[in-house]
Structure 1
Amino acid sequence: MIKKAAGTLVILLGGFTCQAATQYSEFRTPMDGAQWRFEGDRFHCELRQQVAGFGTLVLADRPGQPLGLSLQADWLVNTPLRSESQVVAPQWQHRAAAPSAMRLWQWTGRQAAMEGDATPYLEALEQGLGWQLEVQISDESGYRLNAEPVAVRSALNQFRQCRTALVPQPFSAVRHVTLSYRSGQLLPNTAQLNQLSDIAAYVAADPRITEVLVDGHTDNVGDHLANLALSRDRADEVGALLHERGISRDRIQVRGHGERYPLLSNNNAQGRQHNRRVTIRLVRDGQVQEVAGGTH
Protein backbone atom coordinates (compact mmCIF):
# COMPACT_ATOMS: atom_id res chain seq x y z
CA MET A 1 0.00 0.00 0.00
CA ILE A 2 1.21 3.51 -0.85
CA LYS A 3 0.28 6.66 1.07
CA LYS A 4 1.41 10.26 0.88
CA ALA A 5 1.86 11.84 4.30
CA ALA A 6 2.99 15.43 4.91
CA GLY A 7 4.38 15.66 1.42
CA THR A 8 6.56 12.57 1.82
CA LEU A 9 6.11 9.36 -0.13
CA VAL A 10 5.55 6.59 2.40
CA ILE A 11 5.34 2.91 1.44
CA LEU A 12 3.69 0.49 3.85
CA LEU A 13 4.87 -3.08 3.29
CA GLY A 14 3.89 -5.89 5.66
CA GLY A 15 3.53 -3.52 8.56
CA PHE A 16 6.83 -1.72 7.91
CA THR A 17 6.98 1.98 6.99
CA CYS A 18 9.63 3.09 4.47
CA GLN A 19 10.28 6.68 3.44
CA ALA A 20 11.44 6.98 -0.17
CA ALA A 21 14.93 8.44 -0.53
CA THR A 22 15.29 11.87 -2.11
CA GLN A 23 16.23 11.62 -5.78
CA TYR A 24 18.96 14.09 -6.78
CA SER A 25 19.67 15.42 -10.27
CA GLU A 26 23.43 15.67 -10.77
CA PHE A 27 25.18 18.83 -11.93
CA ARG A 28 28.90 18.93 -12.64
CA THR A 29 31.08 20.63 -15.21
CA PRO A 30 32.70 18.11 -17.58
CA MET A 31 36.36 17.61 -16.74
CA ASP A 32 37.53 18.96 -20.09
CA GLY A 33 35.54 22.14 -19.49
CA ALA A 34 36.19 22.68 -15.78
CA GLN A 35 37.84 25.99 -15.00
CA TRP A 36 38.56 27.72 -11.71
CA ARG A 37 38.84 31.50 -11.99
CA PHE A 38 40.57 33.91 -9.62
CA GLU A 39 39.47 37.49 -9.01
CA GLY A 40 40.93 39.79 -6.38
CA ASP A 41 42.74 42.89 -5.16
CA ARG A 42 43.77 44.35 -1.79
CA PHE A 43 40.15 44.33 -0.62
CA HIS A 44 38.82 40.91 -1.67
CA CYS A 45 39.97 37.52 -3.00
CA GLU A 46 37.67 35.12 -4.85
CA LEU A 47 38.02 31.64 -6.30
CA ARG A 48 35.14 30.73 -8.65
CA GLN A 49 33.87 27.54 -10.24
CA GLN A 50 31.00 27.52 -12.73
CA VAL A 51 28.87 24.41 -12.23
CA ALA A 52 27.46 23.79 -15.68
CA GLY A 53 23.72 24.21 -15.89
CA PHE A 54 23.20 25.43 -12.33
CA GLY A 55 25.28 28.37 -11.09
CA THR A 56 28.58 29.61 -9.67
CA LEU A 57 30.33 28.60 -6.45
CA VAL A 58 32.47 31.36 -4.92
CA LEU A 59 35.12 30.94 -2.22
CA ALA A 60 35.75 34.47 -0.90
CA ASP A 61 38.05 36.13 1.61
CA ARG A 62 37.41 39.73 2.70
CA PRO A 63 39.07 41.84 5.42
CA GLY A 64 37.64 41.31 8.87
CA GLN A 65 35.48 38.34 7.81
CA PRO A 66 35.94 34.57 7.97
CA LEU A 67 36.58 32.71 4.73
CA GLY A 68 33.20 32.17 3.08
CA LEU A 69 31.64 29.93 0.45
CA SER A 70 28.55 30.95 -1.51
CA LEU A 71 26.46 29.92 -4.50
CA GLN A 72 24.72 32.06 -7.08
CA ALA A 73 22.08 29.94 -8.81
CA ASP A 74 21.22 30.80 -12.41
CA TRP A 75 17.61 29.70 -12.45
CA LEU A 76 16.42 28.29 -9.11
CA VAL A 77 12.88 29.48 -8.30
CA ASN A 78 11.67 27.71 -5.14
CA THR A 79 13.50 28.14 -1.85
CA PRO A 80 15.10 24.76 -0.93
CA LEU A 81 13.96 22.84 2.11
CA ARG A 82 17.53 22.06 3.11
CA SER A 83 21.00 22.44 1.64
CA GLU A 84 24.12 20.70 2.91
CA SER A 85 27.66 20.43 1.58
CA GLN A 86 30.67 18.28 2.28
CA VAL A 87 34.18 17.61 1.07
CA VAL A 88 34.36 14.58 -1.23
CA ALA A 89 36.92 12.67 -3.23
CA PRO A 90 36.91 13.47 -6.97
CA GLN A 91 34.92 11.14 -9.19
CA TRP A 92 38.02 9.32 -10.46
CA GLN A 93 39.08 8.32 -6.90
CA HIS A 94 37.46 6.23 -4.20
CA ARG A 95 38.27 7.98 -0.94
CA ALA A 96 35.60 8.61 1.68
CA ALA A 97 34.21 12.08 2.25
CA ALA A 98 35.33 14.07 5.28
CA PRO A 99 32.29 14.25 7.59
CA SER A 100 33.88 17.02 9.65
CA ALA A 101 33.49 19.34 6.67
CA MET A 102 29.71 18.98 6.43
CA ARG A 103 27.99 22.38 6.46
CA LEU A 104 24.47 23.73 6.19
CA TRP A 105 23.55 26.54 3.78
CA GLN A 106 21.12 29.44 4.04
CA TRP A 107 19.26 30.86 1.03
CA THR A 108 18.20 34.39 0.11
CA GLY A 109 16.53 34.33 -3.26
CA ARG A 110 18.92 32.65 -5.68
CA GLN A 111 21.92 33.35 -3.44
CA ALA A 112 23.04 30.80 -0.83
CA ALA A 113 25.77 31.10 1.79
CA MET A 114 27.44 28.31 3.70
CA GLU A 115 27.32 28.49 7.48
CA GLY A 116 30.64 28.71 9.30
CA ASP A 117 34.21 29.13 8.18
CA ALA A 118 35.12 27.69 4.77
CA THR A 119 38.79 26.99 5.54
CA PRO A 120 38.27 23.17 5.36
CA TYR A 121 37.01 23.64 1.80
CA LEU A 122 40.10 25.59 0.80
CA GLU A 123 42.29 22.94 2.41
CA ALA A 124 40.34 20.27 0.53
CA LEU A 125 41.22 21.82 -2.83
CA GLU A 126 44.86 21.99 -1.79
CA GLN A 127 44.70 18.25 -0.99
CA GLY A 128 43.09 17.32 -4.30
CA LEU A 129 39.57 16.91 -2.93
CA GLY A 130 36.34 18.41 -4.27
CA TRP A 131 33.09 19.83 -2.95
CA GLN A 132 29.56 18.47 -3.11
CA LEU A 133 26.43 20.45 -2.34
CA GLU A 134 23.00 18.84 -2.04
CA VAL A 135 20.04 21.18 -2.56
CA GLN A 136 16.83 19.51 -1.43
CA ILE A 137 13.78 21.05 -3.11
CA SER A 138 11.17 18.65 -1.75
CA ASP A 139 10.97 15.37 0.13
CA GLU A 140 11.25 13.55 -3.18
CA SER A 141 13.68 15.59 -5.28
CA GLY A 142 16.70 17.84 -5.23
CA TYR A 143 19.91 18.80 -6.99
CA ARG A 144 23.47 17.65 -6.32
CA LEU A 145 26.30 19.98 -7.37
CA ASN A 146 29.88 18.79 -7.71
CA ALA A 147 32.98 20.96 -7.94
CA GLU A 148 36.00 18.91 -8.94
CA PRO A 149 39.66 19.85 -8.21
CA VAL A 150 40.45 20.03 -11.93
CA ALA A 151 42.73 22.75 -13.38
CA VAL A 152 42.71 24.56 -10.04
CA ARG A 153 46.43 24.97 -9.22
CA SER A 154 47.07 28.27 -10.98
CA ALA A 155 43.96 29.99 -9.62
CA LEU A 156 44.62 28.50 -6.17
CA ASN A 157 48.14 29.94 -6.08
CA GLN A 158 46.79 33.37 -7.05
CA PHE A 159 44.16 33.09 -4.32
CA ARG A 160 46.79 32.26 -1.69
CA GLN A 161 48.97 35.21 -2.72
CA CYS A 162 45.98 37.53 -2.71
CA ARG A 163 45.06 36.56 0.85
CA THR A 164 48.50 37.53 2.15
CA ALA A 165 48.13 41.00 0.64
CA LEU A 166 44.62 41.80 1.94
CA VAL A 167 44.26 44.92 4.05
CA PRO A 168 43.75 43.88 7.69
CA GLN A 169 40.41 45.69 8.09
CA PRO A 170 37.65 46.89 5.74
CA PHE A 171 36.79 50.54 5.22
CA SER A 172 33.81 50.23 7.57
CA ALA A 173 36.19 49.37 10.43
CA VAL A 174 38.76 52.13 9.84
CA ARG A 175 36.73 55.01 8.41
CA HIS A 176 36.00 56.39 11.90
CA VAL A 177 38.12 55.15 14.80
CA THR A 178 38.01 56.48 18.36
CA LEU A 179 40.94 56.06 20.74
CA SER A 180 40.02 56.43 24.41
CA TYR A 181 42.53 57.86 26.91
CA ARG A 182 43.10 57.54 30.62
CA SER A 183 43.41 60.77 32.58
CA GLY A 184 46.84 62.23 31.86
CA GLN A 185 47.64 59.67 29.12
CA LEU A 186 49.49 61.15 26.16
CA LEU A 187 50.58 58.23 23.96
CA PRO A 188 48.41 55.45 22.48
CA ASN A 189 48.67 52.03 24.08
CA THR A 190 49.67 48.83 22.29
CA ALA A 191 46.16 47.94 21.12
CA GLN A 192 45.67 51.47 19.82
CA LEU A 193 48.98 51.33 17.95
CA ASN A 194 47.69 48.22 16.19
CA GLN A 195 44.59 50.17 15.18
CA LEU A 196 46.77 52.91 13.73
CA SER A 197 48.70 50.30 11.74
CA ASP A 198 45.42 48.98 10.33
CA ILE A 199 44.36 52.49 9.33
CA ALA A 200 47.68 53.19 7.63
CA ALA A 201 47.55 49.89 5.75
CA TYR A 202 44.11 50.73 4.42
CA VAL A 203 45.09 54.27 3.38
CA ALA A 204 48.12 52.88 1.53
CA ALA A 205 45.89 50.49 -0.42
CA ASP A 206 43.01 52.84 -1.28
CA PRO A 207 43.92 55.80 -3.53
CA ARG A 208 40.45 57.26 -2.96
CA ILE A 209 41.43 58.40 0.55
CA THR A 210 42.07 62.12 0.23
CA GLU A 211 42.43 63.18 3.87
CA VAL A 212 42.95 61.73 7.32
CA LEU A 213 41.34 63.87 10.02
CA VAL A 214 42.77 63.57 13.53
CA ASP A 215 40.92 65.35 16.34
CA GLY A 216 41.87 65.43 20.02
CA HIS A 217 39.45 65.96 22.93
CA THR A 218 39.60 66.05 26.74
CA ASP A 219 37.23 66.07 29.69
CA ASN A 220 36.67 69.30 31.63
CA VAL A 221 38.91 68.49 34.59
CA GLY A 222 41.59 71.13 35.08
CA ASP A 223 42.46 74.34 33.28
CA HIS A 224 40.72 75.08 29.99
CA LEU A 225 43.88 76.13 28.17
CA ALA A 226 45.83 73.16 29.54
CA ASN A 227 43.13 70.83 28.24
CA LEU A 228 43.25 72.48 24.83
CA ALA A 229 47.02 71.96 24.69
CA LEU A 230 46.68 68.32 25.85
CA SER A 231 44.08 67.54 23.20
CA ARG A 232 46.37 68.98 20.53
CA ASP A 233 49.38 67.07 21.87
CA ARG A 234 47.47 63.78 21.76
CA ALA A 235 46.31 64.47 18.22
CA ASP A 236 49.84 65.46 17.16
CA GLU A 237 51.21 62.19 18.54
CA VAL A 238 48.61 60.18 16.62
CA GLY A 239 49.31 62.16 13.44
CA ALA A 240 53.04 61.51 13.80
CA LEU A 241 52.47 57.79 14.34
CA LEU A 242 50.29 57.60 11.23
CA HIS A 243 53.02 59.38 9.27
CA GLU A 244 55.60 56.89 10.60
CA ARG A 245 53.36 54.15 9.21
CA GLY A 246 53.43 55.62 5.71
CA ILE A 247 50.70 58.26 5.44
CA SER A 248 52.03 61.47 3.91
CA ARG A 249 51.88 64.56 6.11
CA ASP A 250 49.95 66.55 3.53
CA ARG A 251 47.01 64.17 3.90
CA ILE A 252 46.91 64.36 7.72
CA GLN A 253 44.92 67.19 9.29
CA VAL A 254 45.40 67.52 13.06
CA ARG A 255 43.23 69.55 15.43
CA GLY A 256 42.80 69.88 19.19
CA HIS A 257 39.44 70.87 20.66
CA GLY A 258 40.02 70.58 24.39
CA GLU A 259 36.76 70.09 26.30
CA ARG A 260 34.61 71.86 23.71
CA TYR A 261 32.81 68.83 22.20
CA PRO A 262 31.95 66.31 24.94
CA LEU A 263 30.20 63.09 23.94
CA LEU A 264 28.65 62.65 27.39
CA SER A 265 28.26 64.71 30.54
CA ASN A 266 31.47 65.46 32.43
CA ASN A 267 29.59 65.21 35.73
CA ASN A 268 30.60 61.57 36.27
CA ALA A 269 33.65 59.35 35.71
CA GLN A 270 32.04 57.35 32.92
CA GLY A 271 31.21 60.45 30.93
CA ARG A 272 34.69 61.90 31.40
CA GLN A 273 36.22 58.61 30.21
CA HIS A 274 34.26 58.82 26.95
CA ASN A 275 35.21 62.45 26.44
CA ARG A 276 38.98 61.82 26.67
CA ARG A 277 39.58 60.66 23.11
CA VAL A 278 41.26 61.10 19.75
CA THR A 279 39.22 60.36 16.64
CA ILE A 280 40.64 59.39 13.25
CA ARG A 281 38.36 59.78 10.23
CA LEU A 282 39.12 58.91 6.63
CA VAL A 283 37.79 61.13 3.86
CA ARG A 284 37.21 59.10 0.71
CA ASP A 285 36.50 60.47 -2.77
CA GLY A 286 36.56 63.99 -1.40
CA GLN A 287 33.43 63.49 0.66
CA VAL A 288 32.25 66.41 2.80
CA GLN A 289 34.01 66.51 6.15
CA GLU A 290 31.99 66.06 9.31
CA VAL A 291 31.67 69.14 11.48
CA ALA A 292 33.79 69.23 14.62
CA GLY A 293 30.78 69.48 16.89
CA GLY A 294 28.94 66.56 15.29
CA THR A 295 30.70 63.22 15.53
CA HIS A 296 34.02 64.16 17.05
Structure 2
Amino acid sequence: MFKKVAIAAVLSLMVSGVAYAGLDALKGLGKEAGKGVAASAKEGALSAVTNKLKKVQNEKGPIKFKTGKAEIDPSCDKTMTAIAAIMTDYPGFHVQVDGHTDNVGKPEANQKLSQDRADAVVKYLVDKKAVDAKRLSAKGFGDSKPIADNKTKAGQAKNRRVDFTVTKM
Protein backbone atom coordinates (compact mmCIF):
# COMPACT_ATOMS: atom_id res chain seq x y z
CA MET A 1 0.00 0.00 0.00
CA PHE A 2 2.81 2.37 0.94
CA LYS A 3 4.46 1.62 -2.38
CA LYS A 4 1.29 2.61 -4.31
CA VAL A 5 0.97 5.87 -2.34
CA ALA A 6 4.64 6.71 -2.98
CA ILE A 7 4.26 6.03 -6.72
CA ALA A 8 1.12 8.18 -6.79
CA ALA A 9 2.95 11.00 -4.98
CA VAL A 10 5.89 10.86 -7.41
CA LEU A 11 3.52 10.85 -10.40
CA SER A 12 1.62 13.77 -8.90
CA LEU A 13 4.84 15.77 -8.45
CA MET A 14 5.90 14.93 -12.01
CA VAL A 15 2.56 16.08 -13.39
CA SER A 16 2.71 19.21 -11.21
CA GLY A 17 6.20 19.89 -12.47
CA VAL A 18 4.97 19.66 -16.04
CA ALA A 19 2.05 21.92 -15.14
CA TYR A 20 4.40 24.48 -13.56
CA ALA A 21 6.70 24.33 -16.56
CA GLY A 22 3.65 24.91 -18.72
CA LEU A 23 2.66 27.90 -16.60
CA ASP A 24 6.15 29.34 -16.93
CA ALA A 25 5.90 29.00 -20.69
CA LEU A 26 2.49 30.70 -20.65
CA LYS A 27 3.86 33.46 -18.44
CA GLY A 28 6.56 34.09 -21.06
CA LEU A 29 3.89 34.19 -23.75
CA GLY A 30 1.87 36.58 -21.63
CA LYS A 31 4.82 38.97 -21.40
CA GLU A 32 5.29 38.85 -25.16
CA ALA A 33 1.57 39.33 -25.75
CA GLY A 34 1.62 42.24 -23.31
CA LYS A 35 4.48 43.84 -25.23
CA GLY A 36 2.51 43.45 -28.44
CA VAL A 37 -0.57 45.00 -26.89
CA ALA A 38 1.51 47.87 -25.47
CA ALA A 39 3.19 48.49 -28.83
CA SER A 40 -0.18 48.43 -30.55
CA ALA A 41 -1.62 50.88 -28.02
CA LYS A 42 1.39 53.16 -28.46
CA GLU A 43 1.02 53.10 -32.26
CA GLY A 44 -2.68 53.86 -31.85
CA ALA A 45 -1.91 56.85 -29.62
CA LEU A 46 0.72 58.19 -32.04
CA SER A 47 -1.68 57.78 -34.93
CA ALA A 48 -4.56 59.43 -33.06
CA VAL A 49 -2.54 62.55 -32.26
CA THR A 50 -1.14 62.65 -35.82
CA ASN A 51 -4.74 62.58 -37.08
CA LYS A 52 -5.68 65.44 -34.72
CA LEU A 53 -2.84 67.50 -36.16
CA LYS A 54 -3.99 66.75 -39.72
CA LYS A 55 -7.58 67.61 -38.82
CA VAL A 56 -6.47 71.06 -37.65
CA GLN A 57 -5.22 71.90 -41.14
CA ASN A 58 -8.47 70.63 -42.65
CA GLU A 59 -10.53 72.80 -40.29
CA LYS A 60 -8.37 75.91 -39.77
CA GLY A 61 -6.59 75.88 -43.12
CA PRO A 62 -3.29 74.59 -44.43
CA ILE A 63 0.02 76.21 -43.62
CA LYS A 64 0.82 78.45 -46.59
CA PHE A 65 4.05 80.00 -47.80
CA LYS A 66 4.99 82.71 -50.22
CA THR A 67 5.74 81.18 -53.63
CA GLY A 68 9.22 79.70 -53.78
CA LYS A 69 10.01 80.84 -50.23
CA ALA A 70 9.96 79.47 -46.70
CA GLU A 71 8.15 82.49 -45.29
CA ILE A 72 4.93 81.47 -43.51
CA ASP A 73 1.82 83.38 -44.53
CA PRO A 74 0.50 85.35 -41.49
CA SER A 75 -3.03 84.07 -42.18
CA CYS A 76 -1.88 80.68 -40.87
CA ASP A 77 -1.60 81.87 -37.26
CA LYS A 78 -4.95 80.25 -36.29
CA THR A 79 -3.69 76.92 -37.59
CA MET A 80 -0.36 77.28 -35.79
CA THR A 81 -2.15 78.23 -32.55
CA ALA A 82 -4.29 75.08 -32.80
CA ILE A 83 -1.21 72.93 -33.52
CA ALA A 84 0.53 74.38 -30.46
CA ALA A 85 -2.58 73.70 -28.34
CA ILE A 86 -2.58 70.03 -29.35
CA MET A 87 1.09 69.78 -28.47
CA THR A 88 0.29 71.31 -25.06
CA ASP A 89 -2.43 68.69 -24.56
CA TYR A 90 0.09 65.89 -25.29
CA PRO A 91 3.30 67.03 -23.55
CA GLY A 92 5.19 63.74 -23.89
CA PHE A 93 4.86 63.49 -27.65
CA HIS A 94 7.51 64.39 -30.25
CA VAL A 95 6.31 65.80 -33.58
CA GLN A 96 8.12 65.75 -36.89
CA VAL A 97 7.19 68.55 -39.28
CA ASP A 98 7.25 67.14 -42.83
CA GLY A 99 7.79 69.60 -45.68
CA HIS A 100 6.66 68.73 -49.24
CA THR A 101 6.71 70.46 -52.62
CA ASP A 102 5.24 69.93 -56.06
CA ASN A 103 7.52 68.78 -58.88
CA VAL A 104 7.99 72.17 -60.54
CA GLY A 105 11.67 73.07 -60.61
CA LYS A 106 14.79 71.06 -59.92
CA PRO A 107 14.53 68.21 -57.41
CA GLU A 108 17.52 69.55 -55.44
CA ALA A 109 15.89 72.97 -55.10
CA ASN A 110 12.58 71.37 -54.08
CA GLN A 111 14.37 69.29 -51.45
CA LYS A 112 16.00 72.39 -49.96
CA LEU A 113 12.74 74.38 -50.11
CA SER A 114 10.79 71.62 -48.36
CA GLN A 115 13.42 71.41 -45.60
CA ASP A 116 13.49 75.19 -45.23
CA ARG A 117 9.69 75.27 -44.92
CA ALA A 118 9.63 72.49 -42.33
CA ASP A 119 12.35 74.36 -40.40
CA ALA A 120 10.30 77.58 -40.64
CA VAL A 121 7.26 75.85 -39.11
CA VAL A 122 9.39 74.51 -36.24
CA LYS A 123 10.87 77.98 -35.67
CA TYR A 124 7.40 79.58 -35.71
CA LEU A 125 6.03 77.08 -33.18
CA VAL A 126 9.04 77.54 -30.91
CA ASP A 127 9.40 81.33 -31.19
CA LYS A 128 5.77 82.43 -31.42
CA LYS A 129 3.82 79.63 -29.73
CA ALA A 130 6.31 78.62 -27.00
CA VAL A 131 6.51 74.94 -28.02
CA ASP A 132 9.62 73.25 -26.61
CA ALA A 133 12.14 72.88 -29.45
CA LYS A 134 13.17 69.44 -28.12
CA ARG A 135 9.68 68.17 -29.00
CA LEU A 136 9.96 69.11 -32.67
CA SER A 137 12.05 68.06 -35.64
CA ALA A 138 11.88 69.00 -39.31
CA LYS A 139 12.27 66.86 -42.41
CA GLY A 140 12.04 67.94 -46.01
CA PHE A 141 10.85 65.43 -48.59
CA GLY A 142 10.94 67.64 -51.68
CA ASP A 143 8.62 66.30 -54.36
CA SER A 144 9.19 62.63 -53.43
CA LYS A 145 5.83 62.02 -51.70
CA PRO A 146 3.05 63.54 -53.79
CA ILE A 147 -0.56 63.07 -52.66
CA ALA A 148 -2.04 64.32 -55.93
CA ASP A 149 -1.24 64.43 -59.64
CA ASN A 150 1.45 67.01 -60.40
CA LYS A 151 0.10 67.38 -63.96
CA THR A 152 -2.60 69.80 -62.81
CA LYS A 153 -2.40 73.10 -60.91
CA ALA A 154 -4.84 71.73 -58.33
CA GLY A 155 -2.69 68.64 -57.83
CA GLN A 156 0.45 70.72 -57.50
CA ALA A 157 -1.25 72.90 -54.89
CA LYS A 158 -2.14 69.81 -52.83
CA ASN A 159 1.43 68.57 -53.03
CA ARG A 160 2.81 71.84 -51.64
CA ARG A 161 2.10 71.09 -48.02
CA VAL A 162 3.34 70.61 -44.50
CA ASP A 163 2.31 67.50 -42.60
CA PHE A 164 2.81 66.62 -38.95
CA THR A 165 3.80 63.14 -37.79
CA VAL A 166 3.95 62.16 -34.15
CA THR A 167 7.06 60.02 -33.93
CA LYS A 168 7.52 59.26 -30.22
CA MET A 169 5.86 59.33 -26.85
Task: Identify the TM-score tier after normalising by the shorter chain.
Answer: 0.5 to 0.7
* Mapped partners of 2:166, 2:50: distance in 1: 10
* Mapped partners of 1:239, 1:246: distance in 2: 11
Secondary structure in 1 matching 2:164? strand
Please state which structure has a larger fraction of its residues in helix.
2
Name 1:225's counterpart in structure 2. Answer: 108
Q: What is the root-mean-square deviation in Å for CA atoms of aligned residues?
A: 2.3
Matches within 5 A, 1:181-196: 181=65, 183-196=67-80
Name 1:234's counterpart in structure 2. Answer: 117
Secondary structure in 2 matching 1:175? helix
Please state which structure has a larger fraction of its residues in strand.
1
- For residue 182 of structure 1, report the CA deviation from its aligned partner: 5.6
2:53 to 163, 175, 180: 175
Name 2:161's counterpart in structure 1. Answer: 277
| 2:134 aligned with 1:250 | yes
Structure 1 172/220 Cα, relative in aligned 2: closer, same or farther at 3 Å?
closer
- For residue 173 of structure 1, report the CA deviation from its aligned partner: 7.6
* Mapped partners of 1:184, 1:274: distance in 2: 15
Contact 1:174 1:282 in 2 (8 A): no
The TM-score normalised by the length of structure 2 is 0.59
Highest relative contact order (Cα 8 Å, sep 6+), 1 or 2? Answer: 2
Matches within 5 A, 1:62-141: none
1:206 to 84, 87, 90: 90
Name 1:215's counterpart in structure 2. Answer: 98
Q: How many residues align?
A: 114
Q: Which amino acid aligns with 1:268?
A: T
The TM-score normalised by the length of structure 1 is 0.35
Contact 1:214 1:255 in 2 (8 A): yes
Contact 1:180 1:274 in 2 (8 A): no
Structure 1 runs of 4+ aligned residues shifted over 6 Å read none
